[in-house]
Amino acid sequence: MLVAAALCPCPPLLVPEVAAGAAPELDGVRAACLDAIGVLAAARPDRLVVIGPAERAGQGPHPQGAPGSFRGFGVDLDVSLGAAEETPERELPPSLAVGAWLLSRADWDDAPVEGLGVAQPLPLERCLPLGRELAASAPRVALLVMGDGSACRTVKAPGYFDERAEGFDAAAARALGAADLPALRALDATLAADLQASGRACWQVLTGAAEDAGLAGRLLRDEAPYGVGYFVATWS
């Protein structure tokens, strides 16, 4: 059963070594992410699953101890998804590497941790049963859900400017902050893809996990410093 969830953005820029001189710009988001992970710890889960968007090579399950790195972003920094006696060979996708980095900053040792890379185009009808399966995997399950909003808020954004982006992000922020399952399920997958909103599928997986859980939401952060929607929320 799902007992808590934390929702965080997943840009590698969250890692100060990657952001370099721009690191202070995301200090507030980093602090909110660590607060959100504190809510997960307070729920005392039996199992934590970090889910995040992934390209084909990173999709599917990643066991505890799975390695990740930020070398692809010019930084000699390695992370792992918790500790394990044997290190799996398959590397974490960037979104899960950011999640692993956040957990290391929070000194997570409250429950076993695993990862799940989710295909960004995954349709709603496949997201829901995946979430239900996660919720049923242990008596007390917590999810750390990584994903960004639109990447089209300004002309300097990665996806350039799209006038639909602000409305999409506003709807997503409201739904995430209210733990509004119907509103999250109503997010249009085609529009999300157009706006490069990487979090859509992961958020909809969460709605499958949260069925009948009776969780209340709280929005901790809603920013778009680089023209990309970054949201931090907790469900507990």
pLDDT in tens, 71-83: 999 999 999 998 8
Question: Residue 21 belongs to what domain range?
Answer: 2-235
Q: What is the mean pLDDT of the chain?
A: 96
Structure confidence by residue, pLDDT tens digits, 184-195? 999 999 999 999
What CA–CA distance (Å, rounded) separates 172 from 22? Answer: 26
* Environment class of 123 (CB within 10 Å of its CB; exposed 0-12, middle 13-18, buried 19+): exposed
Any idea what the CATH number is for the domain that residue 199 is in?
3.40.830.10
The pLDDT tens digits of the residues spanning 13-41 come to 999 999 988 778 899 999 999 999 999 99
pTM: predicted TM-score of the whole model, two decimal places = 0.97
Rounded-to-integer distance, Cα 116 and Cα 45, Å? 17
Counted domains in the chain? 1
